[in-house]
Amino acid sequence: MIALAPRRLSITDNSSAAGAILTVDLSAIRANYRLLAGCLKRAACGAVVKADAYGLGAAHVAPILYREGCRHFFVAHFEEGLALQTVLPPGVSIFILNGLPFGWEKVCAETGLIPVINSIEQLNAWTAEARRASRILPAALQIDSGMARLGLAASDVNLIAAEPERLAGLALRLVMSHLACADDPGNGANRVQLEAFRSLRARLPAAPAALANSAGIFLGPDYHFDLARPGAALYGLRPVAGASNPMHPAVRLDARIIQIREISEGTPVGYGHSWRATRPSWIATISVGYADGWLRSLGNRGAVYFEGVRMPIVGRISMDSITADATAIGPKRLSPGGLVELIGPHQPVDDVAEQAGTIGYEILTNLGCRYYRNYLDA
Ligand SMILES: *Cc1c(COP(=O)(O)O)cnc(C)c1O
């Protein structure tokens, strides 16, 4: 008797079976890094790769940025930092923006990851670990310069200034703050935060400083300090609201048509019958839904494109599919199995976001895990 091994069908490498294909253009991300670094002159250009590089895949993105010369990486969570260490050479600086969860100081000290200290409690826990282990530990200090989100208040900075031994055992690798209104260059809050950051950091021991996110880089050299922390612009999002976008688009999303049907005038489409045909129409059902991050707010608002022709989304967004009005194209040119563009040259991420009532960041970080992912690098 011959025991037969169960046959397993592997389709994971077959994009033609996928409901939708996400293409990430790594060479565009490289070009964006070079463009941002070129704006900076003296300051170094870091990279924010939190939330899996804004949904695009930190394991792919971080190494190519390293090859472009990036040596400072930022993530939000400790575990993101651990994952990043496995894809980057030793010696890079990986900062944990949200700081450490209490109780994880000993583990973190062994990794070399750099916690961003946001409060006196976090500072005390980190210096206590330095004492316990008799080691000098790397640290970044975040100052709240006017956002009331994360970071040391002015009174905390004054406390440290008055009692510098509070930093004993730490190698201060960065003093940073974050801008609340950087994407709105005319907003006076930017200058106010800049002045607050300047005066507060001057009370701390000398260390490299960082203030600018993507949009902050475009506020000009006053905001650059020693290191910039762009995220969004690396991934092609428009850094300054209302202005033209100098960045290279890095994402393309194409989804498959799974059915085409002809309906008569008055026929309702989708959940809740929220749309009705006002003329005989062709409806294409497409294999992407809110479970893939195609937000439900795009129902009866958004569109997809076929060879540059707009097909309005009609009816609600379902979990796994959407319906679009294909009447302008008709059944001769469309067929099940074909692809339509959801994000691409006819519809950049920022435009999708606007139609969905959100920002490009939310569209990217919601990109689904069911997509076939295609990474291009020239
Ligand atoms: C997310 C984040 C950034 C990156 O901001 P972008 O607008 O994506 O460039 C920079 N700094 C901090 C503290 C952040 O949380």
What is the distance in A from the centroid of ligand 1 to the CA of 305?
31
Tokens of 300: 């009866």
Q: What is the mean predicted confidence (pLDDT) over 168-196?
A: 97
User: What pLDDT does residue 17 have?
Assistant: 85
Using CA atoms, how far apart are residues 55 and 365, in angstroms rounded to an integer?
Answer: 4
- The H-or-E segment that residue 275 falls in is strand 275-276
* Contacts of residue 37, Cβ cutoff 8 Å, sequence gap at least 6: 45, 68, 69
Q: What is the mean predicted confidence (pLDDT) over 194-208?
A: 97
Atom of ligand 1 nearest to the CA of 150: 13
Using CA atoms, how far apart are residues 260 and 270, in angstroms rounded to an integer?
Answer: 14
140: helix, coil or strand?
strand
Q: What is the mean predicted confidence (pLDDT) over 324-339?
A: 94
Using CA atoms, how far apart are residues 260 and 287, in angstroms rounded to an integer?
Answer: 12
In the chain, what is the greatest distance between 2 CA atoms, to the nearest angstrom?
Answer: 82
User: What pLDDT does residue 13 have?
Assistant: 54
Using CA atoms, how far apart are residues 378 and 376, in angstroms rounded to an integer?
Answer: 7
Atom of ligand 1 nearest to the CA of 142: 13
What is the distance in A from the centroid of ligand 1 to the CA of 231?
6
* Contacts of residue 295, Cβ cutoff 8 Å, sequence gap at least 6: 317, 356, 358, 362, 363, 366
Model confidence at 10: pLDDT above 60: no
**Residues 375, 26 contacting (CB under 8 angstroms):** yes
Q: Which long-range contacts (CB under 8 A, 24 or more apart) does 294-298 make?
A: 294/322, 294/342, 294/368, 295/356, 295/358, 295/362, 295/363, 295/366, 297/356, 297/357, 297/358, 298/322, 298/352, 298/355, 298/356
What is the distance in A from the centroid of ligand 1 to the CA of 73?
11
pLDDT per residue as tens digits for the range 129-167: 999 999 999 999 999 999 999 999 999 999 999 999 999
What is the distance in A from the centroid of ligand 1 to the CA of 230?
6
Atom of ligand 1 nearest to the CA of 361: 8
- Which protein residues are within 6 Å of ligand 1, measured from CB? 48, 50, 97, 178, 213-215, 229-233
What is the distance in A from the centroid of ligand 1 to the CA of 232?
8
Sign of CA dihedral 176, 177, 183, 187: negative
* Closest alpha carbon to 74 in 65, 204, 2: 65
What is the distance in A from the centroid of ligand 1 to the CA of 97?
9
Atom of ligand 1 nearest to the CA of 54: 8
CA 50 to chain centre: 7
Task: Please identify every residue annotated as catalytic.
Answer: 50, 271
Mutate to test the pocket of ligand 1, among 95, 211, 229, 240 (most ligand atoms within 8 A of CB): 229
Residues found in the chain? 378
User: What pLDDT does residue 15 have?
Assistant: 76
Tokens of 138: 């790397």
109: helix, coil or strand?
helix
pLDDT per residue as tens digits for the range 21-76: 999 999 999 999 999 999 998 999 999 999 999 999 999 999 999 999 999 999 99
- Please give the backbone phi and psi of residue 341, each rounded to the nearest 5 degrees, phi first: -90, 125
* Contacts of residue 346, Cβ cutoff 8 Å, sequence gap at least 6: 305, 308, 310
Mutate to test the pocket of ligand 1, among 32, 33, 40, 48 (most ligand atoms within 8 A of CB): 48
Using CA atoms, how far apart are residues 322 and 307, in angstroms rounded to an integer?
Answer: 18
Per-state percent for the chain, helix, strand, coil, to nearest 5: 30, 25, 45
pLDDT per residue as tens digits for the range 254-300: 999 999 999 999 999 999 999 999 999 999 999 999 999 999 999 99
Using CA atoms, how far apart are residues 100 and 269, in angstroms rounded to an integer?
Answer: 49
Q: What is the mean predicted confidence (pLDDT) over 347-360?
A: 97
214: helix, coil or strand?
helix
Side chain identity at residue 101, one-letter code? P
Name the percent of the chain lying above pLDDT 70: 96
- Please give the backbone phi and psi of residue 301, each rounded to the nearest 5 degrees, phi first: -130, -50
- Please give the backbone phi and psi of residue 276, each rounded to the nearest 5 degrees, phi first: -130, 140
Three-class SS of 325-358: ECCCCCCCCCCCCCEEEEEECCECHHHHHHHHCC
Atom of ligand 1 nearest to the CA of 97: 13
